[in-house]
Chains A and B, each alone.
Chain A
Amino acid sequence: QVQLQESGPGLVKPSETLSLTCTVSGDSFGSPKYYWTWVRQPAGKGLEWIGRISNGGTTKYNASLESRVTISLDISRRQFSLKLSSVTAADTAVYFCAREAGTVAGSIGYWGQGTLVTVSS
């Protein structure tokens, strides 16, 4: 059973860079069958897909965030990471890492518990 766990600062100052890491346990991390994905959710609101990375390092981002987002992968550490630059209060949200099926139009079968990131001075 795969498990995902987010980690990183819970408070980020405006204009700075938000950095989160997701550590994956289980036997699927090296598999080409999956994408490693970030989704966020502002308090009381819906889900927003941020982007994903494949095992081969190919990234896809939500165009609404693309100029500020970088997702990277460290297979040896079984981790993938999110960096979001120039943050504002609008980036305050719970951030989830997740495993997305690597098939066309695949579902998101496994999620981390989420971590709240607050942007405030």
Chain B
Amino acid sequence: EIVLTQSPDFLSVTPQEKVTITCRASQNIGYDLHWYQQKAGQSPKLLIKFAAQPFSGVPSRFSGSGSGTYFTLTINRLEPEDVATYYCHQGYALPITFGGGTRVEIK
């Protein structure tokens, strides 16, 4: 099973600050890494697919990069509505696995 390790576990940031979340895979997964946002009490929402492709309707302040075993999700200029937990997900091999999540709150 491919293990995804996210860091940090928790971030407290001021509005308009830049946020970077990392996801490391236990083996090379190419570009088969996706990012989700989950707000409290809601289902996850797809933000970025295949490491760097924004999903339809996602604000441009969200971007992704990386390949192989190291990936990042960047939120440029954090907005209050971005308070959420963010998860990475690999579809490279079954079973599909998710990272442990990074909770982002406003300072």
Mask, A49-69, CB within 8 Å of B = 1, is: 100000000001011100000
Contact with B along A77-106 (1 / 0, CB 8 A): 000000000000000000010101100111
B42: chain A residues within 8 A (beta carbon): 113
Contact call B92/A108, Cβ cutoff below 8 A? no
A86 to B18: give the CA distance in the assembly, Å: 46
C-alpha spacing A107/B48, complex, angstroms = 9
Establish whether residues A46 and B95, one from each chain, have CB atoms under 8 Å apart when the complex forms: no
**Contact present for A96 and B95 (CB under 8 Å):** no
Residue B46 interfacial (CB < 8 Å): yes
Q: Are A49 and B95 in contact (CB under 8 A)?
A: yes
Q: How far is the CA of A64 from the CA of B95 in the complex (A)?
A: 9
Q: Is the CB of B46 within 8 A of A108?
A: yes
B44 surroundings in chain A (CB, below 8 A):
47, 96, 108, 111
Which label, helix, strand, loop or mixed, suits the secondary structure of the A interface?
loop
Contact in complex: A111, B43 (CB < 8 Å): yes
Chain B interface extent, by class: 20 to 34
Which chain B residues (50-107) contact chain A, with CB distance < 8 Å? 50, 55, 87, 89-92, 94-101
* Bound-state Cα–Cα, A47 to B101, Å: 9
Nearest-CB residue, chain A, relative to B85: A46
| A107–B94 CB distance below 8 A | no
In the complex, what distance in Å separates the CA atom of A104 from the CA atom of B94?
11
Binary flags per residue of B13-55, CB closer than 8 Å to A gives 1, else 0: 0000000000000000110101010000011111001100001
Q: CB-CB < 8 A to A108: which residues of B?
A: 34, 36, 44, 46, 89
